[in-house]
Copies of this chain bind each other. A is one copy, B any other.
Amino acid sequence: MIKAERQNLILEYLTKDKKVLLDQISKILKVSEDTVRRDIKELSDKGLLRAVRGGAVHRSPIPLHFKERQYIDVEHKQIIAGKVLDYIKPDMVVLIDSGTSALAAVANLPKDIALTVVTNSFPVASVLEDHPKIEVLFMGGRLNKTAFSTSGFETIEAIRNIRADICLLGICSIDLNWGVTGADYEDSLIKKVMVETSKYIIALSTSDKLGTSESFYICAANRLDVIITEADPAEVDLTAYSQAGIEIR
């Protein structure tokens, strides 16, 4: 077990559990607590987490390094991606935000579909490399090196010039009272503008995010047209959502 690997794992545990404890990591990875502490120190210096007494937690607005996140929850994301495909028809203009769920959806698009994809996410653009019939419009702006996406004024201006047929919103918290909310300010701003300018909104979420809320408001729940989760809709109580006019898949 080499240092780089260990640090990757620490970041994975962090995204999964929202926190890591020194003794927990020390036991799992079978190294001394000192080593874990030093690893956390290094990661903290890179800005990838916040070291606290006893372990580490998320550094609030900054999303974790994409590298670490893309392998998490792969099965769930595959399921979500499959359901998304029903909504994507040839020649649509699809607006896609950053986030690994949307990325999974894009990665599962058929190779020969003709689309225009508008995105601010490097990985999304990159995955479309071998889809010859998909034209990609990339929205510029300040580059966020951890999420590999752009944000800020230029990005928002670029979105305002687009009126997409469909918008794929990466995982967010959804609550019928509080609406759709996000944990990262810059990212939530982007999502907000995307929702404003798109005709049809598909939110990608996980069933455990239904009924929860975060700090930054994106839009009212009934602004969403569809919510796609990894769960079987037959097994969740959806009456409240359908009453609000939202389809759940």
Contact = CB atoms under 8 A, between A and B. Distances in A.
A132 B146 CA distance: 11
How many copies altogether? 2
Contact of A139 (B3, B53, B140): B140
Q: Assign chain A's interface to a size class.
A: 35 or more
Contacts of A210: none
Interface string A96-138: 0000000000000000000000001011011011001001111
- A interface: dominant SS: mixed
A5 interface: yes
B21 A54 contact: no
Contacts of A150: 138, 140
Give the residue among A5, A61, A67 with the most B Cβ atoms within 10 A. Answer: A61
Contacts of A129: 63, 65, 145, 148
A11 interface: no
Nearest to A68: B61
Nearest to A161: B154
B145 A61 contact: no
Contacts of A52: 2-4
Contacts of A3: 52-54
B63 A126 contact: yes
Contacts of A120: 140
A142 interface: yes
20 contacts: A2-B52, A2-B53, A3-B52, A3-B54, A4-B53, A4-B55, A18-B71, A46-B132, A58-B67, A61-B123, A62-B126, A122-B122, A129-B145, A137-B142, A138-B138, A138-B140, A138-B142, A140-B141, A140-B154, A140-B155
Given A2-B52, A18-B71, A61-B126, 10 more contacts: A2-B19, A4-B55, A47-B132, A61-B66, A65-B129, A122-B126, A136-B142, A137-B141, A137-B154, A139-B140
